[in-house]
Each structure stands twice: as structure tokens, then as C-alpha cells.
Amino acid sequence: QVQLVESGGGLVQAGGSLRLACAASGRTFSSYAMGWFRQAPGKEREFVAAISSTYYEYYADSMRGRFAISRDNAKYTVYLQMNSLKPEDTALYYCALAPLPLAAQAMGIKSRYDYWGQGTQVTVSS
């Protein structure tokens, strides 16, 4: 059974930074694509960033240049570095795992990910 646990959320001022982490179980972690999604109250869950098993990075347009995804296979962990945070970034951030290879154009599609963490809250004050 795959388990994902997010951490690193918190309260920051606009313009500040946070680094989220997602620890995964499983001996084949390096074979999976990993993604980050977020959901604010009353809104749909939206794609943030993803990284493939070959370290290809893909970002939503609004996050590109501010956020950076990375992975450390030795630690079974994926990270999301968030800079220049804005109040509209406030949301519950979820880590997700895709057990099958993803084409670059499919990395932002929610249905391609089969396993999800419980989320970590990010709140940005103005």
C-alpha cells in the first residue's frame, strides 16, 4: 500500500517562502511521477507542479517562475519550494503519485494520479 505524508505548511506573509515536503512509502518510488495539487474552500482542486521519474518538471502557468519541484529518491521524498507567495496561494496542498509513466502533456491531469496524501495547509497573509 502506498502512503504519502505532506509537511511544511504554515502561515507566512505575502512575499515570503515555504518549502513543502512529501514523504512516500514504497521500494519503487524512483519509478513514479509525483505531483502537487491545491484546493481552496469552495474551489476545484487544481494542478500546481509535477516531476517525472526522469526529473522532467512541469508547472501550471501561474506557478512557473515562483515555485520549484524537486525529488530525492534516496529519501523517498518530493519537495515544493514556494517563493514570492501571494494571498491567492492560500489553500490545502496535496501530494499525489502516478504509478504509470505519464506523457508530459498528461502530468497536470488529476485522474492520472492514483494515490493522495491528506494535505498540508498553506496560509498567506496580506
* pLDDT tens-place string over residues 85-106: 999 999 999 999 998 888 888 9
Residue 64 is classified by DSSP as: B
Cα–Cα distance between 113 and 20 in angstroms, integer?
19
pLDDT at 27: 66
* pLDDT tens-place string over residues 23-73: 998 767 888 899 999 999 999 999 999 999 899 999 999 898 999 999 999
Cα–Cα distance between 81 and 104 in angstroms, integer?
21
Cα–Cα distance between 124 and 42 in angstroms, integer?
17
